[in-house]
C-alpha cells in the first residue's frame, strides 16, 4: 500500500531499476530521491543562502514562484543583489540559463530570436534568442522601450513565441526573473499593466542588516561564490515538485476567500483597477506551493495572507485620491485583508 508524505506525494517501497515506483507517473518524486517536497524546497533555499545572506524570506518566495510556474519581478535600487539572486537560483538548478541586459536600443528580436537565410542550405532558419532558456534573467527590464518589453508577453503568458508566423514552444520549466530599478530613476519606462499582471509576484530585496553586510564582505570579499555553487535540484525533481504542488487540496471555503479578496479589491474606494481572474488563479497556485513546502497537502488561510502582498500589490491600480493621500498598494492590500472575513475550512 502506498505511503503518503505530509506534502501529499505518494511513494511505494517497490522500485524499478531507474528508481521509479512501478506504474508511477513520469516526474513523480520516488523514494530514491530520499527527500520529500519540503526537503527539496529547503535544500534549494539553503543553497541560494550561501550567496544571498540575510534574505531567507525573499529566497523562499523566489523558489515558491518557480514551483508555482510563475514569473518574478524584483524591484529595488541597484547593487542590492537582484542579479546575483537570479544567478544563484539558476546555478542551483540543472537547467539552462539565459541573460538579457535590457537597454534603450534593445530590439524584440534580441529577446525572442530571429529568422535568417542560410545560404549553404538555401533556406531560412530560426536562431532562438535568450528567452528560450529555462531560467531567463531580464536585467533592468524597465530600461528598454515598451515595444521590446512586450516581446516577453507571449512567452510569459503562453510559454511560446511567434516569429515570422511560426510558433515555437519554450522549454519547461520556464521562469522569467526580471529586475527593475525604481521608476523614478532616469531612463526607465514603466511596465505596462498587461505585463505586470503576468508576473506572479513582485518582490523587493532591501538593504541588508549590519551583521549580514559584514557576512557579505567575508563571503564575497575575495572570491565570487557563484563559481563554487552547485546544482541541488534536477529538472525531474522540479517537475515532480510542480506536479505535487498542483495536487495540493484547496477547500471550497479557501476558494471563496480568494474570490472575496479579489472582489474586495475591485470595490475598494482607493482602487481604480482591481485584481483580475488571472491574479486569483495565480494566488491559488502559489498558495498550493507554500502549503507543500510546509509539509501540508492542503491550503490554509495563513497561506493566503502570507502571500497576499507580493502577489496582489503590483496588480492594483490606485486612483488619484489614494495618490493624494500617499497610500501605497501594499497599504491597500493590508486594508483588504482586514476587511474580508477569514474562513474556517471544514473540508480538507
Domain boundaries, the chain: 31-246, 249-348
List phi, psi (to 5°) of 214. -65, -40
List, for residues 97-146, the tens digit of each pLDDT value.
999 999 889 999 999 999 888 888 778 889 999 999 999 999 988 888 88
End-to-end Cα separation, the chain, in angstroms:
22
pLDDT at 186: 63
Q: pLDDT band for position 323 (50/70/90)?
A: confident
Residue among 280, 293, 297, 262 at smallest CA distance from 57: 293
pLDDT at 13: 32
The residue ranking higher by pLDDT, 183 or 16, is 183
Bridge partner list, 72: 177, 201
Q: Helix, strand, or coil here: 126? A: strand
Q: How far is CA 86 from CA 9, 113, 138, 242, 321, in A?
A: 28, 22, 10, 19, 37
Task: Tell me the C-alpha distance between 139 and 98, whole Å.
Answer: 11
The residue ranking higher by pLDDT, 165 or 1, is 165
pLDDT at 49: 92
Torsion, CA 313, CA 175, CA 285, CA 48, rounded to 10 = -80
Domains 31-246 and 249-348 share a fold: no
Q: Are 251 and 326 in contact (CB under 8 A)?
A: no
List, for residues 146-186, the tens digit of each pLDDT value.
888 888 888 998 899 988 888 999 998 899 999 987 765 66
Q: Flag whether pLDDT at 341 surpasses 90.
A: yes
Cell digits of residue 292: 507543500
Alpha-carbon torsion (46, 51, 54, 60), positive or negative: negative
Task: Tell me the C-alpha distance between 213 and 107, whole Å.
Answer: 37
List, for residues 232-274, the tens digit of each pLDDT value.
999 999 999 999 999 999 999 999 999 999 999 999 999 999 9
DSSP 8-state assignment for residue 318: E
Fold that domain 31-246 belongs to in CATH: Rossmann fold (3.40.50)
Q: Helix, strand, or coil here: 106? A: coil
pLDDT at 181: 77
Residue partners of 75: CB distance under 8 A and separation at least 6? 179, 180, 181, 182, 202, 203, 204
pLDDT at 345: 52
pLDDT at 4: 38
Q: pLDDT band for position 18 (50/70/90)?
A: very low
List, for residues 294-304, the tens digit of each pLDDT value.
999 999 999 99
Q: pLDDT band for position 78 (50/70/90)?
A: confident
Q: Are 64 and 71 in contact (CB under 8 A)?
A: no
Q: pLDDT band for position 36 (50/70/90)?
A: confident
* 346 membership: H or E segment, kind and range: none
**pLDDT mean over 1-26:** 35
The pTM score is 0.83
| Pick from 34-43, 154-163, 215-224, 260-269: least confident | 215-224
CATH number at 249-348: 1.10.8.80
**Mean residue pLDDT across the chain:** 84
Q: Flag whether pLDDT at 305 surpasses 90.
A: yes
List phi, psi (to 5°) of 271. -110, 125
pLDDT at 122: 78
Q: Are 191 and 142 in contact (CB under 8 A)?
A: yes
Task: Tell me the C-alpha distance between 101 and 110, whole Å.
Answer: 10
Q: Helix, strand, or coil here: 72? A: strand
Task: Tell me the C-alpha distance between 81 and 206, whole Å.
Answer: 9
Q: pLDDT band for position 34 (50/70/90)?
A: very low
Q: Are 193 and 153 in contact (CB under 8 A)?
A: no
Q: What is the DSSP string of 268-303?
A: -TTEEE---HHHHHHHHHHHHHHHHHTT-SB--HHH
List of E strands, the chain: 3-4, 10-11, 72-75, 97-101, 113-118, 123-128, 135-139, 160-163, 166-169, 175-180, 201-203, 271-273, 317-318
Residue among 268, 264, 290 at smallest CA distance from 279: 264
Task: Tell me the C-alpha distance between 188 and 202, whole Å.
Answer: 17
pLDDT at 165: 85
* 206 membership: H or E segment, kind and range: none
pLDDT at 5: 38
The residue ranking higher by pLDDT, 7 or 102, is 102
Amino acid at each position: 500500500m502506498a505511503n503518503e508524505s505530509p506534502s501529499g506525494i505518494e511513494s511505494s517501497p517497490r522500485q524499478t531499476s531507474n528508481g521509479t515506483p512501478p506504474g508511477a507517473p513520469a516526474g513523480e518524486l520516488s523514494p530514491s530521491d530520499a527527500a520529500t517536497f519540503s526537503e527539496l524546497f529547503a535544500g534549494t533555499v539553503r543553497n541560494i543562502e550561501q550567496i544571498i545572506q540575510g534574505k531567507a524570506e525573499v529566497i523562499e518566495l523566489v523558489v515558491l514562484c518557480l514551483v508555482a510556474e510563475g514569473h518574478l519581478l524584483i524591484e529595488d535600487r541597484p547593487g542590492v543583489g537582484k542579479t546575483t539572486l537570479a544567478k544563484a537560483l539558476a546555478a542551483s538548478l540543472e537547467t539552462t540559463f539565459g541573460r538579457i541586459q535590457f537597454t534603450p536600443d534593445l530590439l524584440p528580436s534580441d529577446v525572442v530570436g530571429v529568422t535568417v537565410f542560410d545560404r549553404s542550405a538555401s533556406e531560412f532558419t530560426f536562431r532562438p534568442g535568450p528567452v528560450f532558456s529555462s531560467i531567463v534573467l531580464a536585467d533592468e527590464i524597465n530600461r528598454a522601450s515598451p515595444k521590446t518589453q512586450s516581446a516577453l508577453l507571449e512567452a510569459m503568458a503562453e510559454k511560446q513565441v511567434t516569429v515570422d508566423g511560426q510558433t515555437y514552444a519554450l522549454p519547461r520549466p520556464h521562469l522569467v526573473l526580471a529586475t527593475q530599478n525604481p521608476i523614478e530613476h532616469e531612463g526607465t519606462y514603466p511596465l505596462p499593466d498587461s505585463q505586470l499582471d503576468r508576473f506572479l509576484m513582485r518582490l523587493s530585496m532591501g538593504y541588508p542588516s549590519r551583521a549580514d553586510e559584514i557576512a557579505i564582505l567575508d563571503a564575497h570579499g575575495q572570491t565570487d561564490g557563484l563559481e563554487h555553487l552547485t546544482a541541488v535540484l534536477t529538472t525531474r525533481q522540479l517537475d515532480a515538485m510542480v506536479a505535487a504542488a498542483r495536487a495540493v487540496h484547496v477547500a471550497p471555503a479557501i476558494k471563496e476567500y480568494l474570490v472575496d479578496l479579489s472582489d474586495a479589491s475591485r470595490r475598494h474606494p482607493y482602487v481604480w483597477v482591481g485584481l483580475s481572474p488571472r491574479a486569483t488563479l495565480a494566488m491559488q497556485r502559489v498558495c498550493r506551493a507554500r502549503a507543500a513546502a510546509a509539509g501540508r497537502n492542503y491550503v490554509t488561510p495563513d497561506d493566503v495572507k502570507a502571500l497576499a502582498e507580493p502577489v496582489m500589490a503590483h496588480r492594483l491600480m490606485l486612483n488619484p485620491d489614494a495618490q493624494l493621500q500617499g497610500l501605497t498598494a501594499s497599504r491597500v492590500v493590508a486594508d483588504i485583508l482586514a476587511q474580508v472575513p477569514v474562513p474556517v475550512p471544514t473540508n480538507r
